[in-house]
Structure 1
Amino acid sequence: MTPNPALDLTWQVDRLVPGETHRVGTGTTRAGGKGVNVARVLHGQGIDVLALATAGGQTGAEFAAELVASGVPHRLVPVSGATRRSVAIVDTDAAHTAVLNEHGSPLTPDEAAALDTAALAAAALDTAALAAAAPDAAARVDVVVIAGSLPPGYAPEQLGALVTALNTSGVRVIVDTSGPGLLEAARAGAYALKPNGEELTAATGLDDPLAGARILLDLGATLVVVSLGGDGLMLVSRAEGGRPVRARLPRVLRGNATGAGDAAVAAIAATLVEPIAFDADTVPAAEARRRLARKAVAWSASAVLAPLAGSLSPEHDAFEREVVVEPLLPRTAETHEDPA
């Protein structure tokens, strides 16, 4: 689910010089927003997925047409405001990307309610709601991802209420947002939260990512995965005495990092379909947490090498074998003894 989707416009330039005119190749226009990017990655990996978003205005029509062309199963809630635009300028020489994100048009109360209704219908397996959008979708919903910023008219408290309602349907909810919405999702008991370090600091007021992650756990989240850019990620749960799992790729990659976080969320979703309590103090759960961390880093790293957000490069399987996960499994896990 993408509450504030965008029509992504991307251009590549050999060297971006502020104040100068640049001649560039034809840009790329793509339906985007964090949740849409997550859905693209999962769809590309052969995982059944439904992308839910709003669409309005001329940009919304372009957004919808591109989603149809992409083949990603989707359902769009019509709104009166125009779908926002997001502009990415990729400096290939410096391996940096400048992004300009419009705020997004406000949702009316009825539009915000319609978006929630569509999400609950999908999670509850309302076949009538899903038939037109994803006739070949799987017979069970395992995970719901809510990703991206919240548009005006969609309050953080409404996000929390949606997470609470989704929990009652038995799905695992992953939320990747910022600000008060992140705190409300934690209070509502989101199964996994995926802030980056800056978002975590802004939401909790704490500079230490481990301390900030523990605040979210105390509020009610089950897992907190903090993306740390080139330093990989940190996964925190109450298991193993609350010690974090740290995962990283032992080398630096150059490329377009705009979709890296979305790829990490897709990896989390792909892993959370496993029917295991990821916060349990057992050897299988500890191994599952490490699989999650390893896949999230590998998919995130491979997204850096892909030309557009929502894609993985072919190297993601090789990266998964290369990722370093620390600390090592406890001694009991190494001998396959159950510490419980």
Structure 2
Amino acid sequence: MNPVANVVAVLTPNPAVDVTYRVAQQRVGHTQRVLDVTRRPGGKGVNVARVLGSVGARSRCLLPLGGPAGRWLAAELAGLDVPATVVPLAGPTRTTVTVVDGVQHPTMFGEPGPAVSAAEWAAVTRAVPADADAFVVAGSLPPGTDPELVGAWIRAAAVPAVADVTGPALLVAAAAGAVCAPNAQELLEATGCASEQAGAGVLLERGAPLVVVSRGAAGLSAHTPGGQVHVPAVAGVSGNPTGAGDAATAGFVLATTRGLPTATALRWAAAFGAAAVLRPVAGEVDLAALARHLPELQLELQLEPQLEPRPEPDGSPA
């Protein structure tokens, strides 16, 4: 099998134009001069697709987009060679603003997203590709969106699915048979449980074949009906944590499309998350770090380490 032949379809229900302001020091209640501004396509699913593309894997974004911001986002993805299917919306695509200073944790302001009609959501469901090898739905839902739509998208894809969604949508994804990939806090909030073990049990009982829980610096755990597997985070890594979870999702999905066992897929997820922390913005991974931590991936995808010096970390919403 060609190691990069598998196609991963990635749906981002609520994409955004991510704007990052760099300031000298974040100070609430004070007027602050912005030192520089960056803009890039954003949303958790967009980050997943960009990471997959950066290692030579094939992905296709499915994006509901509207207004000038939506047109800009689509054009930027085309310029980045990220294939995308766009479903037009009447409402404008949202913007998120992150304020960074290189000292404190980034502060993010996220707009809620556009109102999406039933007809527009129906068009999104029809656009879910039926010829992919795996399907990912990742990110928030615009306000007023019926979480049951997540189940409809997963069923429409009819392939192994991974869902990185929150709240009631996570429960719906489990019932539709998707691998659920929340962080620890999202798991407890969605299930109302007091422990990770109990929360994962709720999703497994609803139909999820696997629950992958990210714990940041504490690593990742995979819960199955038969037991639990834990992989520690890569030690000694610091930088920008924003988007690391999206990179971990990309690594996990990439490993599973290779038919690798769960423990190995978790190791790939941990390595991708660590490699993302070393990059200044979400949607990127440090290829040299991946080559060190996953030599088998280097051989499969013929990764070439990035030669440019790494910029100072900043933040970006996922």
Q: Where on the TM-score scale, by shorter chain, does this alignment land: which range?
A: 0.7 to 0.9
Task: Deviation per CA, 1:54-95: give whole Å up to 9, x if none.
Answer: 11112112212211211111111100000011112223123x
Deviation at 1:151, TM superposition (A): 1.4
Does residue 104 (structure 1) correspond to residue 113 (structure 2)? The answer is yes
Cα distance change on mapping 1:97 and 1:320 into 2, 3 Å: farther
Give the 3 Å change call, closer, same or farther, for CA 12–301 of structure 1 in structure 2. farther
Does the alignment pair 1:293 with 2:266?
yes
**Corresponding residue for residue 332 of structure 1:** none
Match of 2:235 in 1: 250
8 Å Cα contact 1:90/1:98 also seen in 2: yes
User: Are 1:142 and 2:129 matched, yes or no?
Assistant: no
- Aligned-pair identity (%): 42
- Partners in 2 of 1:271 and 1:320 — Cα distance? 11
State the distance in 2 between where 1:80 and 1:87 align.
22
Question: Do 1:235 and 1:245's aligned partners in 2 also have CA atoms closer than 8 Å?
Answer: yes
Q: Count the aligned residue pairs.
A: 284
The CA deviation string for residues 2-50 of structure 1, in whole angstroms up to 9 with x for no partner, is 0111111112334322233333332111111111110000011100110
**Structure with larger Rg:** 1
Match of 2:180 among 193, 202, 205: 193
Residue equivalent to 1:284: none
- Is 1:317 equivalent to 2:294 in the alignment? no
Looking at structure 1, the residues matched to 177 and 52 of structure 2 have their Cα atoms a distance apart, in angstroms, of 24
Residue 205 of structure 1: how far off its partner (Å): 0.9
Q: Following the alignment from structure 1 to structure 2, what is the Cα–Cα distance between the partners of residues 185 and 69?
A: 32
Q: Measured at CA, do residues 256 and 275 of structure 1 come closer, stay the same or move farther in structure 2, by a change above 3 Å?
A: closer
Secondary structure (helix, strand or coil) at the match of 1:8 reads strand
Alignment partner, residue 61 of structure 1: 71
Q: Is the 8 A contact 1:112 1:153 kept in 2?
A: no
Of residues 100, 116, 123, the one that matches 1:90 is: 100
Opposite residue 208 of structure 1, the aligned amino acid is: S
- Aligned partner of 1:269 in structure 2 is 253
Q: Distance in 2 between matches of 1:234 and 1:258?
A: 20
Q: In 2, distance between residues paired with 1:209 and 1:99?
A: 27
Q: Could you tell me which of 18, 22, 37 is aligned with 1:12?
A: 22
Note the alpha carbon deviations across 1:118-159, whole angstroms, 9 max, x for none.
Answer: 01xx2x23xxxxxxxxxxxxxxx2111000011135311121
Task: Within 5 Å, give how 1:228-239 maps onto structure 2.
Answer: 228-239=215-226
Instruction: For 1:15 and 1:235, locate their aligned partners in 2 and report how far apart those are by CA, in whole Å.
Output: 39
Could you tell me which runs of 5 or more consecutive residues in structure 2 were left unpaired when the two chains were aligned: 1-10, 296-318
Q: Is the 8 A contact 1:109 1:153 kept in 2?
A: no
**1:98–1:320 distance in 2 versus 1, CA, 3 Å:** farther
TM-score with structure 1 setting the length: 0.79
Q: Give the Cα–Cα distance (whole angstroms) in 2 for the partners of residues 235 and 88 of structure 1.
A: 31
